[in-house]
Chain A
Amino acid sequence: MNYKPIDWVDERLGTAKFTRKSLNKIFPDHWSFMLGEIAMYSFFILLGTGVFLTFFFVPSSADIVYHGSYAPLDGHVVSQAYASTLDLSFNVRAGLVMRQMHHWAANVFVAAIVVHLLRVFFTGAFRKPREINWLVGSLLLMMAILEGFLGYSLPDDLISGTGIRIAYSITLSVPIVGSYLASFLFGGQFPGDKIIPRFYTIHILLVPALMAGLLGAHLAIMWHQKHTQYKGKGKTEKNVVGVAMWPAYAMQAGGFFFLTAAVIAALGGLAQINPIWMYGQYIPYKVSYAVQPDWYMGWLDGALRLFPSWEITGFGHMIPTIFFPAVLLPGITFGLLMGWPWIERIFTKDTQAHNLLDNPRDNAWRTSIGVGVMAFYMVLFFASSTDVLANAFNLSLNFVLWAFRALVFVVPPIAAYVAYKLAKEASSASRAGRPRKAMVVSRSNEGEYTTEESDPRIEVELKRSAMHSEVPQPLPEEASFHAAEATGEGTSESEGGLAMSASSLSSAATGEMSERPSGGPEVYQVPPGTPGSGGGLFSPRGPKLSRSFEDPEEEK
């Protein structure tokens, strides 16, 4: 293998240290750490498919007469935005699959962010030193919701146009500056012809740029601070135990990107989303029933439906009713969300840094608050489909609405109480949820029975394949690097020391049985014939060993 490019870059940028650390970074192994990755990969898919869509979409409200390939709209006067969305759906090769992937990816993106946020919340991963990343993540969620709404609005179809109309009314409802805000945003009275091009610029330039920056910061901070980890054998506040970045984690995470793309592609090709050709052009006096926003706006729409018809007037002014559910509620929501690390600290008085995560059951108060708040937003979310639910279950619409008005107060406390009780219950049972140790019953020669827990080593064998070592080890390269540093030998000056350790390393990595370097850290020794040590399907049979690590001696 040719390492020249590494030397070339390092001599100019000095990147070897960072790259080395990155390759040897340890990632804790747990499925819940993959949730944020789903969000990140969805974002990449959104960027890719979005770029494709911009090549065909025309962000203009200018009217044209449609004579495209969708016959039921032939001869209709439509906006260029709508017509170009139809064209890219029907006349551009792979256009529809790209458009639908973009939309599905948006739905999955926000959902993954929310689930990731819940994981971070319930495990206490937002505590010191990670408050900044909690803020960055919360901002990313807000941006994602805004970005989703903007994208949903762009095709200028009947459903999304109704959404823009509501957005105008919400902007209008802001006290003091509302009518100015609305007029400036829409370039005058609703609907005007400016909102589609403006939303387009915000959707493809402003918000994505901000999100890319915030996502970069989110990852860089995570990289710098290192992952949190769950409590477990050998895990402390001061270490990280898990799989190495290179190659295991890189392959798993890289493969996961393709799996995310695969699921979104399957949805994009097989499940129809937002068939705007059936909705028709947005025309202000037309409306369809069953108008809902995309799911991540559902809680706002639900709040608009449930909030009573209170309108405050006095002193010649008015605070419109929609201000409370549509402006105040999101303000409070995101305010509390972003402030949570500090709010919690007021009660816990905890100023310690934490790298070990809480098990949700061990922090019953936080868990119950989280569940209660989640239940509140779930009720609002379901309330945004009162009409569809009433229709599906043959109930009176009025009954469904009143039921939700009651549920929004009743469900959260009950959910919080149940969560509190369950958490208390679970944490008092010390080993709840953990695999039970095998009990060994043995009979002595005298006929006496004894019961004891099985040998922990046997459990290790039961659980792990040959790819796992029994006890956490430092990575061999890192171990010898730090050993060399510790003994005062320079990393580049002292050829001998490095060569020595590297050769012992190479033997370890290639599976040759060697003596442990005396005094040095334990080196994980791979038994011959185990994976990664050569041989296999596409190489000659037999225990022939290939070198996976170049011996520096050999190069000279």
Chain B
Amino acid sequence: MIIRKKLGGRILVPVALGVAASVSGMALFSQGAAAATVSGSVGSANTNSLTYGGTSGAGNAPITNLKLDSSTIALGKTLFVENCSSCHGDSAGGTSRAPNLVGLGAATIDFWVSTGRMPLADPTVQAIAKPSRFTRAQTLAIDAYVSSLATGGPQIPVVNLGAASLSVGEGLFSTNCAGCHTITGVGDALADAVYAPSLYPATSTQIAEAVRTGPGNMPRFGTGNLSDQQVADIVKYVKYLQHPNNAGGIGLGHVGPVTEGFVGILIGLGSLMIAGYWIGGRAH
């Protein structure tokens, strides 16, 4: 069963019941002061168009890098020292508790912070998505500060879904992503308390960031493996999966025969057994 939750008045987020999915990814859109704004609708396959207001002229490029505002570096440094430095060190060089962040690139920082995975509540378990602690502007400031420390690493990708192909995306998604995240994007448990998270709360930028940076146990997909165009195609398909064509009715959480079996037995056979109880009655 899908609960559609309206956030920020603009975007519908399906949350699979029984799946530890949070709506953290959308948090940045619900805060009005965000540097990046979203317009357009995410609903059906054909009207999928997302544009970022804050990017430089993208043209037809499927992915452009977000230019970070260097005037926010000071703010970013303050936020970093307050929230991150206790583990990652004052200059982001890493400590015994947390890895080095210098030179990882803005995309990595942006993914972890914007999905709410960082700052971490408990460093011993896999970081899970939760509502981000920062506004979009604050997150970008932190990104700007950390990426100003050294060059290198992938930049924050802004995906032009208008230039992407849904059906090519399906092919790439089923080849590269469905193994862990499932073919419906609902996510599942991997070995040893590692989880492939649900893709339903993810934004276009976060999806592209994850593909390029390979957070946690996820493999990295560089440009030699997936081109920018291919990443944009995948993003378009994942955005479609967040609101798929449920022509058959209630989606039952999109986890396949497990819920179908329970519905068939409990609701199907169950209601018929109640009917049979009415018809047959009890022996006198």
Contact = CB atoms under 8 A, between A and B. Distances in A.
Interface of A: 28-35, 37-38, 70-76, 89-90, 96, 100, 104, 107-108, 111-112, 115, 158-159, 229-230, 232-233, 252, 255-256, 259-260, 263-264, 267, 269-275, 277-280, 283, 285-295, 298, 385, 387-388, 390-392, 394-400, 463-464
A28 B192 CA distance: 55
B71 interface: no
Interface in B52-66: none
Given A31-B282, A286-B174, A294 B276 contact: no
A537 to B, nearest CB: 22
Contacts of A89: 247-248
A391 B189 contact: yes
Given A90-B247, A289-B196, A294-B257, A280 B269 contact: no
B247 A34 contact: no
B256 A35 contact: no
Interface of B: 18-20, 45-46, 166-171, 174-175, 178-184, 186-193, 195-196, 237, 240-241, 244-252, 254-258, 260-265, 267-269, 271-273, 275-284
A72 B268 contact: no
**Would you list the 9 A-B pairs with minimal beta carbon distance, nearest first?**
A295-B261, A107-B264, A272-B248, A34-B276, A288-B183, A390-B189, A31-B280, A396-B193, A391-B189
Given A388-B258, A396-B193, A30 B282 contact: yes
Contact of A391 (B19, B254, B282): B19
Nearest to A298: B261
A230 B280 CA distance: 13
Contacts of A260: 272, 275
Contacts of B272: 38, 108, 112, 259-260, 263
Nearest to B240: A72
B257 A29 contact: no
Nearest to B281: A29
Contacts of B255: 290, 388
B276 A35 contact: yes
B150 to A, nearest CB: 36
Given A30-B282, A74-B167, A158-B174, A272 B246 contact: yes
User: For the complex, would chain A's binding face be called helix, strand, loop or mixed by DSSP majority?
Assistant: helix
B179 A288 contact: yes
B189 A387 contact: yes
Contacts of A111: 264-265, 268-269
B276 A37 contact: yes
17 contacts: A32-B280, A38-B269, A72-B237, A73-B170, A96-B248, A100-B249, A107-B265, A267-B264, A273-B260, A275-B246, A278-B184, A287-B178, A288-B184, A292-B257, A294-B257, A294-B261, A398-B193
Contacts of B20: 391-392, 394
Contact of B273 (A38, A96, A287): A38
A107 B188 contact: no
Contacts of B183: 158-159, 278-280, 288
B174 A96 contact: no
Nearest to A232: B283
Specify which of B169, B237, B271 lies most central, judged by the most chain A CB atoms within 10 Å of its CB: B271
Contacts of A75: 167-168
Nearest to A229: B283
B269 A278 contact: no
A267 B188 CA distance: 26
Contacts of B260: 107, 273-274, 294-295
Contact of B178 (A73, A100, A286, A398): A286
B170 A108 contact: no
Contacts of B278: 31
A399 B188 CA distance: 15
A59 B179 CA distance: 27
Contacts of B174: 158, 280, 283, 286, 288
A76 B169 CA distance: 11
A280 B264 contact: no
A96 B246 CA distance: 11
Contacts of A283: 174
B269 A295 contact: no
B188 A289 contact: yes
A110 to B, nearest CB: 9
A256 B269 CA distance: 13
A9 B230 CA distance: 73
A158 B175 CA distance: 11
A71 B236 CA distance: 13
A485 to B, nearest CB: 30
A283 B282 CA distance: 53
Nearest to A357: B283
Contact of A72 (B166, B196, B246, B257): B166
A266 to B, nearest CB: 9
Contacts of B190: 397
B248 A295 contact: no
Contacts of A70: 245
A460 to B, nearest CB: 9
Contacts of A270: 249-250
Contacts of B276: 31, 34-35, 37-38, 256
Contact of A295 (B187, B189, B250, B257): B257
Given A89-B247, A273-B260, A387-B189, A289 B182 contact: yes
Contacts of A76: 167, 170-171
Contacts of B265: 107, 111, 295
Given A34-B280, A108-B264, 13 more contacts: A71-B166, A71-B167, A96-B247, A108-B268, A252-B279, A272-B246, A275-B251, A275-B254, A280-B183, A388-B188, A391-B187, A397-B193, A398-B191
A264 B267 CA distance: 10
Given A72-B170, A288-B174, A295-B257, A275 B248 contact: yes
Contacts of B261: 107, 294-295, 298
A273 to B, nearest CB: 5
A552 B168 CA distance: 79
Contacts of A259: 272, 275
B189 A397 contact: yes
Contacts of B282: 30-31
Contacts of A278: 183-184, 241, 244-245, 254
Given A277-B245, A397-B190, A115 B269 contact: yes
Specify which of B166, B169, B188, B271 lies most central, judged by the most chain A CB atoms within 10 Å of its CB: B188
